[in-house]
Amino acid sequence: MKDKKFREMIVGGLTVDPYTNTPIVILKDPESEDVLPIWIGFFEASAIATQLEKVKLARPMTHDLMKNILETLGAKVLRIEVTELKENTYYALIHIELDGKVYEIDSRPSDAIALALRTGASIFVNEEVLEKSKQSQVQSEEEKTLDELLEQVDEGTYKM
């Protein structure tokens, strides 16, 4: 991983995909207009939202439990990285230090982000992932435009 370039990003917020009703976490580069939308599950969205909104729950949820276990063992979350985008699936690593040794733990980005928010760890995204995501977003917009055009043709409402 040392040869890859990473960019630090922050959680810009949560939204919902209007087509699929699926939650999306938006990672944002605070120094540019670059964003990385990642489609996530409802439970992970809830975990991220409660932390962003500083909601205090009576009992620890899963990501709070992870944080508590790591702290109890004396481990520290150094950073998380969104490392890859393959076949519309994002991959991440959580970098944890324990007893002077650094471990890289495979993770879904949503879980890694939820943990990073709880521990204050920085969030990094591989530059290649940002580029692939931009290409995917352009293709997706082109597909939506084509789908809308085909619908108009099928309905007989498209005029040349």
Give domain limits for the chain: 6-126
Kindly report, residue by residue over 4-42, the tens digit of the pLDDT.
799 999 999 999 998 899 999 999 999 998 999 999 999
Cβ proximity of 91 and 112 under 8 Å: no
Q: What is the spatial distance between Cα 10 and Cα 2, in angstroms, rounded to a whole number?
A: 21
The mean per-residue pLDDT over the stretch 41-67 comes to 93
What predicted TM-score, i.e. pTM, was given to this entire model?
0.82
Tokens at 43, concatenated: 């439970």
* Percent of the chain scoring above 90 in pLDDT: 71
pLDDT at 154 over 60: no
Helical packing angle, 42-52 and 62-73, nearest 10°? 70
Tokens at 119, concatenated: 């521990």
pLDDT at 143: 54
The mean per-residue pLDDT over the stretch 87-103 comes to 96
| Residue 18 φ then ψ, to 5° | -65, -20
Q: What is the mean pLDDT of the chain?
A: 87
Question: So what's the architecture of 6-126 in CATH?
Answer: Roll (3.10)
**pLDDT classification of 1: cutoffs 50, 70, 90:** very low
pLDDT at 158: 40
